[in-house]
A and B are shown apart, each in its own frame.
Chain A
Amino acid sequence: MSKRDLTFSLGCKDGFPIFIGYFPTAMAFGLVVKNLGLRLWEAILFSVTNFAGSGQFLAASLIGSGALLAELFISVLLINLRYTFMGAEVARRLEDGITGMKRALIAHGTTDEVFSISLMNPGRLPASYMAGLELTSYAGWVSGTALGFLVGLVLPPALQLAVGVTIYAMFSSLLAQEFRKKGLKVLLIAAISAGTHSVLTLLLGVKIGWSFVIAMLLASFIGSLIIREES
Chain B
Amino acid sequence: MKTFVLPILVSALATFIPRVIPYWVSFLDKLPPLLSRMLRLLPVAALGPLIFPGVFLDYVPHLWAGFAGIAAAFILAYFKGGMILPILSSIVVTYLALLFGA
Give A contacts to B, CB under 8 Å: 20-21, 24-25, 28, 36-39, 42, 45-46, 49-52, 54-59, 61-63, 69, 72-85, 87-88, 91, 103-104, 106-108, 110, 158-159, 161-180, 186, 189-198, 201-202, 211-212, 215-217, 219-221, 223-225, 227, 230-231
Cβ-defined contact, B19 with A108, below 8 A: yes
Q: What CA separation (Å) do A91 and B52 show in the bound complex? A: 35
Main secondary structure of the interface of B (DSSP, over half): helix
Known: A162-B91, A164-B58, A175-B51. A81 touches B12 (CB 8 A): no
Given the known A-B contacts A50-B12, A83-B18, A190-B47, are A198 and B41 also in contact in the complex, defined by CB atoms under 8 Å? no
Name A's interface SS. helix
| Minimum CB–CB distance for B33 against chain A, Å | 8
> A158 to B9, alpha carbons, bound, how many Å?
32
Which of B12, B41, B70 is the one whose CB lies under 8 Å from A223?
A: B41
Question: How long is the Cα–Cα vector from A161 to B93 in the complex, in angstroms?
Answer: 12
> Would you give the shortest CB distance from B44 to chain A, in whole angstroms?
5
CA distance A161 to B14 in the complex (A): 29
Report Cα–Cα, A231/B39, bound state, in Å.
12
Closest Cβ of chain A to B85, distance in Å, is: 9
Could you tell me if B49 and A159 are in contact, using CB atoms closer than 8 angstroms?
no
When A and B form their complex, which 8 residue pairs have the shortest distance between CB atoms, in order from nearest? Answer: A194-B48, A197-B49, A193-B48, A169-B90, A162-B95, A173-B77, A49-B12, A176-B77
CB interface residues, B 32-86, toward A, < 8 Å: 34-35, 37-55, 58-59, 65-66, 69-71, 73-78, 81-84, 86
Pairs A–B under 8 Å by Cβ, sample size 19: A46-B11, A52-B15, A74-B14, A77-B17, A80-B14, A88-B26, A104-B20, A107-B20, A107-B22, A108-B16, A165-B91, A166-B90, A172-B71, A173-B74, A173-B87, A178-B44, A220-B41, A223-B38, A224-B35
Instruction: Determine the distance from Cα of A231 to Cα of B15 in the docked complex, in whole angstroms.
Output: 24
Asked if B47 and A224 make an inter-chain contact with CB atoms under 8 angstroms apart, the answer reads no
Q: Do B47 and A171 touch (CB < 8 A)?
A: yes
Q: Determine the residue in chain B with the shortest Cβ distance to A229.
A: B37
